[in-house]
Amino acid sequence: MYDLGIGLTYENTITLSSDFRYDFLSFDFDLHHFNNGPIGSDVFVFRTITKYGKIGNVLVDLINQCNVNGFDAALHPDTHFHNIKTDDLLELKYIALNDSISIEVKNGELCSQFLACINNQTIEKFDMLGGSQITPNVNVEYLLFEKCDTSLMNKNKIELAPIFEAQKNHIWHNNRAQNFNTLIKWDINDKMDESTSWINVKKGIETNREYWRKEQQYAFDGLLKIRERLGFKVLER
């Protein structure tokens, strides 16, 4: 939702700053009953701004587990890991990560919404005319994902909220584009005959490289558009 995942691939790790408290959140699904789906290897990151000597706003992003370095996290003085059992959350309806952040569930007829609720945020709201207004002490709700019980289809489905799906998609496309810029990761040999000339191999590589570069940019532009449609942002302070 903010900038934590921009530019990441599966080989990059985030840099942990002393200006933030980090809460990493994952969900433990029972794979015998639910399709782990899009969030199996994904982690929600809540960065609480602490650089001003008090608890500040909270920035929320989604990254991949590969983007977290365990040693860096162990050395950071204010890093916390949470693995929520979904069945427990569905029963309790509410689990607090800290004094500012809680994870809640709202049940509908077919779908359960999993929400992050964050207290006392200062946000900037945008109107359709391009203006904005700063509002303090707002309680903000983020939809993390939905778990839909589609009994008619004889399966259960988990869907990330659009903004987090876009963040996930951005990292995936960054990684895919990088694979065509790293010699040892080219997979084009799987699509060409052994007798293919080097000139044609190079053409194939360049064609695929350009294709994935465009797809990478398309995914990034899509992320920015979805973020704009939220209509607000939490100020980084």
Residue ranges of domains in the chain: 20-234
- Residue 113 confidence class, pLDDT cut points 50, 70, 90: very high
Please state, for a pLDDT cut of 70, what percent of the chain lies above it: 84
CB atoms within 10 A of CB 63: 23
Report the pLDDT value the prediction gives residue 150, as an integer from 0 to 100: 65
- Residue 5 confidence class, pLDDT cut points 50, 70, 90: very high
Best-predicted range by mean pLDDT (9-23, 75-89, 136-150, 165-179): 9-23
Please state, for a pLDDT cut of 90, what percent of the chain lies above it: 46
Give me 58's structure tokens.
């909270």
Per the model's pLDDT, the better-predicted residue between 193 and 12 turns out to be: 12
Report the pLDDT value the prediction gives residue 35, as an integer from 0 to 100: 44
Quickly list H helices, the chain: 70-75, 86-92, 162-179, 198-229
Give the side-chain half-sphere CA count within 13 A for 154.
0
Per the model's pLDDT, the better-predicted residue between 186 and 27 turns out to be: 27
Q: Look at residue 37 and tell me whether its pLDDT is greater than 60.
A: no
Q: Look at residue 90 and tell me whether its pLDDT is greater than 90.
A: no
Give the closest residue to 19 by CA, choosing from 69, 66, 44, 56.
56
Give the closest residue to 14 by CA, choosing from 56, 54, 59.
59
Q: What is the pTM of this model?
A: 0.85
The per-residue pLDDT of the chain, averaged, comes to 84
Report the pLDDT value the prediction gives residue 17, as an integer from 0 to 100: 95
* pLDDT, tens only, 172-221: 999 888 876 655 555 555 555 667 677 776 777 777 778 888 888 889 89
* pLDDT, tens only, 115-157: 999 999 999 988 878 789 999 999 999 999 988 876 655 555 7
Cα distances (Å, whole numbers) of residue 78 to 16, 22, 24, 75, 105: 10, 6, 11, 9, 27
Report the pLDDT value the prediction gives residue 61, as an integer from 0 to 100: 96
